[in-house]
Amino acid sequence: MQAFIKYIKRNIPKIPTFYKEYNEAIEYIILNKGKLFRPKLLLSIVKAYEPLLLESSFKIAFALELFHTYSLIHDDLPAMDNSSTRRGKKTLHVLYNDALAILIGDAFNTYAFELISKSAFREDVRLKLIQILATNGGIAGMVLGQAIDLAYEKKKLTLEQLKELHINKTAKLIAASLAMGAIIVDLPKELQKKLYEFGIDLGLLFQVQDDILDAISNENELGKPVNKDIDKNTYTTLLGVEGAIEYANNLANSLQNKLNEFEAPLQAALKEVLDKYLFRHQK
């Protein structure tokens, strides 16, 4: 991942303008990177099957991370989760202002698709990658999940409704990361489908884990405010902490079993990324 991190630093967009805060904000939020989990998933598949395509895939992985970052910028806004810190640093709207944060988020959203369109892959591959990201991140994906989350903030959801919320808000973009890697290396369609379904379950696990960690950790550990979701629909408010841990254990064990059923190269690649994540709620 060091090569990819260097790629990001070399490719931070520098926009010709007298408005210096615009470029400062772009650089600030890109360098305030997180786990790079989604790019890691995508690149692990490419590395396992077509390592010669790894460097060409950096642009796609960067696009994916920028799209995810856009979602976090908007998620932290006062009109949404109203968070003052992210990854241990001030959120963009706090450091600058709401309007600039919204616009930088908008810019990252569209720039992600620009990057994919300019990547080195065949036109049909680029089109598929754009479709996957747009479908899972857009009107019937991440945006829908965020809308449900906000609309039902103080209205209790059932477990199935909560699952629908987080399949859209969190899981689909993680599943898209795996699907995009599979498209780049041209895996069989049946395996692409299994990877996408694996990604949905993985995304759900991540959300349950985040809810658990929000309930039992502190701000220094997580790098963002904790216990802010007490009035929201979370797995811990619905199931209790112990119930959420049991739910997470079941998901993690199921994912472990599915992982063991994948063919050797894919299994090894994904285990390298997932080993420290599947049971992170058992800290």
Question: CA 170 from chain center: how many Å?
Answer: 7
pLDDT over 90 at 219, yes or no: no
pLDDT band at 69 (very low <50, low <70, confident <90, very high): very high
14-34 pLDDT, tens digit per residue, is: 999 999 999 999 999 999 988
Average pLDDT over residues 216-232: 64
Element at 100 (helix H, strand E): helix 98-117
- Contact assessment for residue 172 and residue 201, using Cβ atoms and an 8 Å cutoff: no
Please report, in angstroms and rounded to a whole number, the separation of the first and last CA atoms in the chain. Answer: 25
Query: Please, how many CA atoms are within 13 Å of residue 29, restricted to the half-sphere of its CB?
Result: 33
Q: How far apart are CA 155 and CA 177, in angstroms?
A: 31
Domains of the chain: 2-274 (1.10.600.10)
User: How confident is the model at residue 154, as a pLDDT?
Assistant: 87
CA angle (257 as vertex; 254, 263 as ends), nearest 5: 135
User: How confident is the model at residue 42, as a pLDDT?
Assistant: 98
